[in-house]
Amino acid sequence: MDPITIGIVGTVVLLIAIFLFRIPVGFAMGIIGFVGFATILNWNAATGMLGTELWNVFSKYGLTVVPLFILMGQICFYSGVNERLYKSAYAWMGEIRGGIAMTTVLACAGFAAICGSNSATAATMSTVALPEMKKFRYSPILSTGVIAAGATLGVVIPPSVVLIIIGLQTSQSIAQLFVGGMVPGVLLTVLFLGTIWYLCKKNPDWGPAGPATTFSEKLKSLPGSIEMVILFFLVMGGLFLGFFTPTEAGAAGAGLSLLIATISGKMSWKKFQLAVNDSLKISCMIMVIMLGAVIFGRFLAITRLPFEAAGWVAGLPIPPMVIIGVICLIYVIGGMVMDALALLLVTIPIFFPVVTAMGYDPLWFGVLITVVTTLGAITPPVGVNTFIVASMAKDVPMTDVFKGVSYFVAAYVLCVALLMLFPDLVTFLPRLMQ
């Protein structure tokens, strides 16, 4: 077989290994990439490539940014930053119709800004917000949908582990990707709030107003959000102003979060151990996936499949934006059955050359596919966030949870459409950094 055919066969075998045999994504990519490389060249070349890539991947100083940001998020999770943030947002928003649901979205956005994880935000906010919305007789459809959808902001709003991995895979500036993700993150948050307002206007009994709070009580609640604000502006402000590299920002954020947690008395030794253990587990998982993706990417490179595909797609007699739309549709469908990070690592070597060959800004594309792929976290059959929320709300049928998140799909579609029509929503802030 010629190399391109071998590349196509290897890609098909990879999908079968992941979906049919349930082999972990990192191992599947690594094994198939190694065997494919050896098939085209020879086993000695494949062994040499494996040793070289092991060193290239794990000797990168920039890779330390991954465990540092994960550690920052885990420390905040175990020290209860989310609960204090929720109480602060609730004091300001809880008294209006649908206000507790809006509070939940704002708290998700705030926690996402220091956590960077879909699943952690979903689990955290389910614990905090579900009892409150149940107490105020919110519709289970709305309450579970709000949490599952709001938790997806953990990947879009920087600092985001997914944006870090995209930066490392495509040799882009992580700092610029972070800054580029800020406006889309805020835009998606506003669209979620608008969705809640519309749903509660159409169905008033879905989100009855909570008790009113005085202005004095509102002011007293503000300290609950100070930690998040300090951490966010330390990390993003330092990156935007050029005070920190991404790795230094991660270290500063992890150190400051530990300092805040210790001073507040919310971080016991046991909780600290749990935060470190979880950070190690998540970091190791990500690095195994990254190594597998690099090996599979080297295999695809010698087949020339991505480059041939890029040339073929770029020469199609259809508008480039239609091609981008088809790529986005592939990411939406892929996100329904595959973890977002794994999907991106499998497909970036294929689609990134296509997009750059058509002349699109790689920074814009990185942020765009992050938003598109994140939609998969709330869509069946995988929908990781949806299953996490359903497991926490044991009295709510899974069909109601999926019905709830379906109302927020329109917000995602509108956000993606705006990013495609107005690329400056992503690129204008990074340009200010240059």
pLDDT tens digit sequence for 370-386: 888 888 778 765 566 77
Whole-number Å distance between alpha carbons of 345 and 165: 8
Dihedral sign, CA of 236, 237, 240, 245? negative
- The answer on pLDDT for 233 being more than 90 is no
pLDDT of residue 422: 93
Using the CB atoms, write b or e for 69-84: b if 16+ within 10 Å. bbbbbbbbbbbbbbbb
Mean pLDDT of 308-312: 69
Distances (CA, A) of 161 to 65, 121, 347, 370: 9, 13, 17, 11
Percent of the chain with pLDDT over 90: 16
Rounded Cα–Cα distance for residues 56 and 48 (Å): 12
Rounded CA separation 381/413 (Å): 19
Task: Spell out the domain ranges in the chain.
Answer: 3-433
Contact 298, 53 (CB under 8 A): yes
Residue 190 in this model has a pLDDT that exceeds 90? yes
- Planar angle of CA 423, 425, 426, nearest 5 degrees: 75
Q: What is the pLDDT of residue 417?
A: 92
Given phi > 0 = left and psi -120 to 50 = alpha, else beta, which region is 203? beta
Distance CA 402, CA 134 (A): 18
C-alpha 111/C-alpha 124 separation (Å) is 9
